[in-house]
Structure 1
């Protein structure tokens, strides 16, 4: 019974994510040394209100990429984990995480298309 419920939940989540029209898949290969994530491939998504999210392709867990997304999570409109969970440390700048600027810029493009 638990596996059926889990399957239904995952299917509903996957359906919602895949039904979104403002979604793009990006890979480490495209960004090289700028890559900021522990996963080799993620999806970027723009949702209502300009909320930008990173999605883990294998688990479909989402992570807020900007303040609008964080506000939606805080208000309970979206379920997400902290972005720090999948961010790489910046080896050139010890004590800091990799820059998210290229990924926010790419995700913002989805909002206007």
Structure 2
């Protein structure tokens, strides 16, 4: 009985670890002119369902980087807000915001990383 309980407990911890979101910190220094955010650094994360977010650690607010994340936000599954609030204007294209594509790509790599 005791062995069985320990085995179940270990399996529960393994399942929790496997379902955890992958996260990485990126900075303006790393991306140079591609930097899209009003903050000097953000965290990028990939949730187990493939939704990608940028995270502002000073406010703990999440910002969607792909369609899955936008859907999770609009359906109320996660507490997040539109990324437009932290995007810089694109100096090469007046009236446009900087592209989030490099950040979505980098966050997507976290989904493929070994857990």
Q: Report the counterpart of residue 85 of structure 2 in structure 1.
A: 85
Cα separation, 2, equivalents of 1:51 and 1:79: 13
RMSD: 0.9
Give SS of 2:69's match.
Answer: helix
What stretches of structure 1 of length at least 5 have no aligned partner? 1-19
Count how many residue pairs are aligned between Structure 1 and Structure 2.
Answer: 94
Look up the match of 1:57.
57
Task: Provide, for residues 20-72 of structure 1, a one-character-per-residue CA deviation record: whole Å limited to 9, x for no partner.
Answer: 44000000000011000000010000012210000002111111111100111
Length-normalised TM-score, structure 2:
0.79
Gaps in structure 2 of 5+ consecutive residues: 1-19
Structure 1 or 2: more helix by fraction: 1
Matches within 5 A, 1:1-113: 20-113=20-113
The CA distance in 2 between the partners of 1:72 and 1:66, in whole Å, is 10
Instruction: Look up the match of 1:10.
Output: none
Report the counterpart of residue 14 of structure 1 in structure 2. none
